[in-house]
Each structure stands twice: as structure tokens, then as C-alpha cells.
Amino acid sequence: MHTPPRYRQIAQHYLAAVRAGSLGPGDRLPSLRELMKLHGVSLSTALQVCRTLEAEGWAEARERSGYFVRRPRRLQTTPMDEPAADRAPDPAQFVGIHEKVSDFVARRRYNEVRLDFSIARGAPALYPAEALRAAIGQALRRRPEMLTLAAPSRNRTPFREAVAQRAVRVGMTLAPEEVLPTNGCIEALNLALRAVAQPGDTVAVESPTFYGLLQVLESLGMRALEIPTSPQTGLSVEALELAIDAYRDIKAVVVVPHLQNPLGSVMPDAHKARLAALCERHGIALIEDDTYSELLDAEAPPRALKSFDATGNVIHCASLHKVLAPGLRLGWIHAGRWHARVEMLKYAQTRSNEELSQTAAGRFMATGAYDRHLRRLRERLRTQRERTADAIAQHFPAGTRINLPPGGLQLWVELPGRLPSMAVFDAALREHILVAPGTLFSNGARFDHYLRINCGWPWSDAIEAGLRRLGGIASERLARMPGRAAEPAARVRPQATSASAA
Ligand SMILES: Cc1ncc(COP(=O)(O)O)c(C=O)c1O
């Protein structure tokens, strides 16, 4: 069992008191001397407690008076609206995202980027490079022929066994041979869609959704039906029900139940159960993209959507790309009733994945070191998200809205006055700062005034300066919009509305 250091345990104790309301903004925290006495710790530990609370935005030092509870700036911004879910969505469209994404990729390639807030990935330093290198070395020492012998097709490998074993924690029961290794989650999604639908078919997706999925649909010649999605609870099951009634030709639904990209929403279990039953009832295949659930800050791991599936109608897709090893393209698919078809498609498409990375990753995942790594990663990401949200609340123009998701790598930011995010993107790129404009996350124009900001970089002065500059750019662009007087940047809203996603 991982025990956090003493200073963090004490900081968490005071944080719990703030969250419970027993300590409110403006209340004085115990002095260093009191902390030492109360908790039997040294001066340096007491100081670390105060500095931790200060660094995470929960306390401020006042000269000669000590530390006081502060309401973090991020909690003073207004949360985003829920989408209107009571009308049928716009008809399904053939996706035309590729041009927008190619333009974005080309501009990224041909411009010097010094600060990249556009990706959805952690910095290399957040992943256990040394342990992975050792696991690769050990796998090769044990079976040196791994690089020269074609991968034998074996039903039980360390990787398949580790995935099957971990699946039990999230309510799934599957045999190792039901886990098909893939080239990342993106190949798993490609296979799932090809197994259940044909070119021209309609696939329901969340709106907004990550542009990789829209690209996959476009490349397969399928139509996307964008379903309103809550920043808090994910895909609206009511809106999907309306869509099923209105357009009777939906073949599949793709959903990211945990830490949806870009919203960060988390679907409650009751919604997952309703969604699984709804799709089953209508004979619609349900594809679960489980890329991010290991990054969720929760007491217990969230139940997989697949765990609500009694008939094999849910296809579960996941990957290690964001959580363990961005350098390995290692994902997997558990294809339910489409297992044989997916196995055939995978064989036809790319043959089996190479063995070395699977053996090393599988052995690492079977040790306690994997969970220790995940706990550390979640903790670092939480701090980075909170600091990024604070910086946005401080430096972006008044009226900017964010939701603070309970985990993950990114923040979804709504710019005020429907400020086009492409204008911010262009101006920022001229200053070597890259962001992901909202226009990439939908086939339509609904999210053109949003930005997705990556929080995967360890906090630094350069990151803070970049976010300050982005806020400045947004303020300048906003002031230039017709009919708008210049608004001061960095204004914090006085009202205390909670921005936290449950
Ligand atoms: C929701 C979601 N699914 C799938 C992927 C692609 O995953 P992988 O890199 O494992 O192929 C991403 C990457 O950004 C993602 O955000």
C-alpha cells in the first residue's frame, strides 16, 4: 500500500477540512509552531505542509501573520452550460475533418513550437522510463530470439494475462485469449468500427469529440452523428434516445465514459447501465474507448461500460499510450460478440503486434510498480491541472469558462464573446505557442470558440508565462471584435460558483 509522505498527509488533512467547509476562505491555518506541536513534526515538515497548500492554491502567506485559507482562482470561474439534450441532433454527416486536421498538423510542422499545449499527453518525465528499459532488457535476456523469430501466436502472453487480470478491478471478466493486442487505441477503434459497420453507415459520437475519431470515421467513409454531451456526465443518453427515434439507421455508438476527450466528463454508473441497455435493445453496437480511466482521481477504479454488458454487445478498446508508455504503440481490444471478425480484420490489416513491447509491458503491469506509477502520475497531473486552471482563471479575459475535470491531461476552455479560437491559435503560433482550437473537435462550428489546453507538462515559469501570454492574446483579440469595448484581462469573477466536475 502506498503511503504518501508525512507532510502530504497533513496537507491532505487540512485540505479535507477546507473541502468539508470546516475551514473557509480567510480562516487562519495553524502556525508553524502549532503544526509542529499538533502533528509532532519538525519545522521543515510543517513548512512543507504550508508550502504544499500554497503551491496548490489553497493557502496564502500573509506577512508576519501566517498562512490563511484561500479560495483557488479556478473555483471562481463559472462552469460551462449543459448542452440542450431535448431535441434531435443535426442529421449525420460524412465527416469533413481531415482538411482541418491536415492544416493544423502542417502548421505545427512548419512553425517553430516552443510551448505545445495542443497535445493530450504527459511529459516524458512523468513515465517510468528506467523501469520500462529494465523490463525490455530482461525480456530480451530471457528470450534473445524475440527480435529474430516471428511472433508465435499464443493465447496466453504476459500482456494478455495482465490486461485480463486488471479488468477484474473494473467489473469485467475476460479470458486472456479474448484480449487482442493492437497498435494503440486508434487501431482498436478502427477494427471495432470496421467489424460493426460499413462505409456509408451512421455512427453516433459525442459532441465535442476527439478529432482522431472523426478522422477514423472519415477514412472509413462513415457518417458521424454528433450527440450532445455534458461537460460533467458525458454523452446524453436522452439525446441519443431521441436520435435513435429520429434517425433509425444508427449502426454503432462510440463513447469515452471516463475523462472524455476534450471535456473530461465522467459518466455515472446509472448512465452507463442505461446506455448499454438502450444499445442492446436497438441492436446498436456500443464501442467503449477506455483510453483515460487509469487517470481518474477516484477512491476506487470506475466500472467499465463493458461491465454492464450481458450479451457481448459492448466492444472495449484501450491503450497504454497515455498512462504508461507514450513511446510504445500498445493497445488492446476486447471485441465481445465480434471477437472472431476483429481477429480476422487485425490479421488482414497489420498481423499480430510484436512481442517484445508486450512482454515487457505485461511483466511491468503485473507488478505493484505499475499501480505506484499510476498513483504518482495522477497526483502530478492533478497539481498540474489545478495550476493550469488557476492560471487560466487569472490571465484569460473575464467570461472565460472552464470545468475542472476529476483527472486526466487536459482542460477544455470556452472563450468569451464567441471569440474564434482560430484567431487565438494563429496569433499564438506566431509567438511559438501551440494550442488545439475547438474547431477540430466537431464536424460543425459549435465549438469554434473553445480551446483544449494540455496539462501534461510539469509546472514551470515558462508554462505559466505561456498561459499568461495566451490569456493576453485572447484579451487582445476579444477587444478587436466588432462591437466590443476592451475588457481587462485577468479579472476574477467575484461570485463563488463551483467549477468542479463531480
Ligand atoms: C479518446 C481517445 N481515444 C483514442 C486515442 C488514441 O489512442 P492511442 O494513442 O492509444 O492510439 C486518443 C488519443 O488522443 C484519445 O484521446
Cell 504550508, residue located: 50
Q: What is the pLDDT of residue 4?
A: 81
How far is residue 153 from each of residues 146, 156, 352, measured CA to CA in Å? Answer: 13, 9, 8
Q: Of 335, 370, 405, which residue is a domain's last?
A: 370
Structural domain count of the chain: 3
Helices 6-20 and 32-39 cross at an angle (nearest 10°) of: 110
Q: Compute, in angstroms, the gap from residue 328 CA to the centroid of ligand 1.
A: 13
pLDDT digits (tens, 9 = 90+) for 373-417: 999 999 999 999 999 999 999 999 999 999 899 999 999 999 999
State whether the beta carbon of 319 lies less than 6 angstroms from ligand 1.
yes
Q: Compute, in angstroms, the gap from residue 488 CA to the centroid of ligand 1.
A: 37
* Whole-prediction pTM: 0.89
Whether 203 and 252 have beta carbons less than 8 Å apart is answered as: yes
pLDDT tier, 229 (very low <50, low <70, confident <90, very high otherwise): very high
What is the rounded average pLDDT for all residues in the chain? 92
DSSP 193-226: HHHH--TT-EEEEEES--HHHHHHHHHTTPEEEE
Same domain, 177 and 277: yes
Q: Of 71, 89, 110, which residue is a domain's last?
A: 71
pLDDT tier, 2 (very low <50, low <70, confident <90, very high otherwise): low
State whether the beta carbon of 218 lies less than 6 angstroms from ligand 1.
no
- For residue 496, pLDDT over 50 is answered with no
Same domain, 201 and 173: yes
State whether the beta carbon of 120 lies less than 6 angstroms from ligand 1.
yes
Give the cell for residue 466.
Answer: 505561456
pLDDT tier, 491 (very low <50, low <70, confident <90, very high otherwise): very low
Inside any domain, residue 1? no
Q: Of 71, 89, 104, which residue is a domain's last?
A: 71
Query: Of all atoms in ligand 1, which is nearest to the CA of residue 188?
Result: 11
Same domain, 208 and 256: yes
Tell me which of 181 and 484 has the higher pLDDT. Answer: 181
Inside any domain, residue 497? yes
CB atoms within 10 A of CB 458: 13
pLDDT digits (tens, 9 = 90+) for 293-340: 999 999 899 999 999 999 999 999 999 999 999 999 999 999 999 999
Q: What is the pLDDT of residue 422?
A: 96
Same domain, 348 and 435: no
Inside any domain, residue 65? yes
Q: Compute, in angstroms, the gap from residue 159 CA to the centroid of ligand 1.
A: 19
Same domain, 165 and 191: yes
Nearest to 59 by CA among 38, 34, 31: 31
What is the CATH classification number for the domain harbouring 423? Answer: 3.90.1150.10
Same domain, 254 and 340: yes
pLDDT tier, 72 (very low <50, low <70, confident <90, very high otherwise): confident
For ligand 1, pick from 193, 217, 319, 332 the residue to mutate: most ligand atoms within 8 Å of CB: 319
What is the CATH classification number for the domain harbouring 47? Answer: 1.10.10.10
For ligand 1, pick from 261, 290, 295, 315 the residue to mutate: most ligand atoms within 8 Å of CB: 261
Same domain, 222 and 94: no
Which of 239-253, 321-335, 412-426, 477-491 bottoms out in mean pLDDT, i.e. has the lowest?
477-491
Torsion 248-252-258-264 (CA) sign: negative
Q: How far, in Å, CA of 339 to CA of 315, rounded?
A: 9
Q: What is the pLDDT of residue 485?
A: 56
Same domain, 42 and 89: no
Length of the chain: 502
Same domain, 48 and 86: no
Q: How far, in Å, CA of 32 to CA of 465, rounded?
A: 32
Same domain, 249 and 325: yes
State whether the beta carbon of 122 lies less than 6 angstroms from ligand 1.
no
CB atoms within 10 A of CB 349: 13
Cell 513491447, residue located: 357
What is the CATH classification number for the domain harbouring 314? Answer: 3.40.640.10
Among protein residues, the one with the nearest Cα to ligand 1's atom 7 is 185
SS3 304: coil
Domain that holds residue 24: 6-71
Query: Of all atoms in ligand 1, which is nearest to the CA of residue 256?
Result: 1
pLDDT tier, 57 (very low <50, low <70, confident <90, very high otherwise): confident
Same domain, 200 and 266: yes
Same domain, 196 and 341: yes
